[in-house]
Amino acid sequence: MSHLSNAPQDPLAEAAVEAVLAARWECTELLSRRPSRLAAELLRGHAAELATSALAGDQVLSLALETAAGDLEAGRPPLEAGAMFLFTDAGSADGARRRLRDLVLQQPGEPSSPPRDVVAEIERRCADEGLTPSQLSRRLAASAHLQNTLWDDPRLPAQVPVRLAMLHSAPKLSERAAELARPRPRPSRSSASASTIRQRPSRGSLSVHHAGWVLAAGLLGAGVLALLIPVLPGISN
């Protein structure tokens, strides 16, 4: 799911708005080539697929598609109330939320997906957006908030193993966000200078090296001259 911007905002409201935009686009596309009844069936089929996802954003979109399908069947414009589809019954769902929370926490089963897989999937979906580590950190922190907020929401269609995966992935997302937000150590100037000194010889060493070559050349010249002296004409004892 694409994000509207990288600016910090309420993750729940952002997820609701994005779900409305995506669901309305899908409705428009389906209605352009299908009658309302068939479009509603296709919307419900897609909603059922998303209901198996451990990503809270997919769960919100599943609810939006299901709401849009009901609107089409009732002859109403899809999602006419906009993002309110996610907030209208929030207060009355408190009792159901508590009962669902107890059910999930007492369930002996395994999560539908390991937490690391949920983190990896969210990062994979962000990969094409060219986010910096700081931006990705904020995105994962928002995802952690969304997972933690919605895992026990009774309005969502998720089954218990999916809700367990949502719950268990929230701290892993927070850990990954903190890891990305941590500044990376940079080499200090002193260590960089020391490395440069080790790699490049100093001027003094170059001078000594040059002087050594001059001395060697002088000695070699003297030796050659000493060999030539006995054979020079006109020189005798």
> pLDDT, tens digit, for every residue of 36-80?
999 999 999 999 999 999 999 999 999 999 999 999 999 999 999
Domain that holds residue 18: 11-181
Q: Is residue 215 part of a domain?
A: no
The answer as to whether 5 is a domain residue is no
Is residue 221 assigned to a domain?
Answer: no
pLDDT of res. 94: 82
Residue 176 maps to a domain: yes
Per-residue pLDDT at 187:
59
Kindly state whether residue 155 falls inside one of the protein's structural domains.
Answer: yes
pLDDT under 50 in the chain at which residues? 1, 5-8, 197, 202-237
Provide the token pair at 44. 């419900």
Q: How much is the pTM?
A: 0.73
Q: What percent of the chain has pLDDT over 70?
A: 73
Q: What's the pLDDT score for residue 34?
A: 95
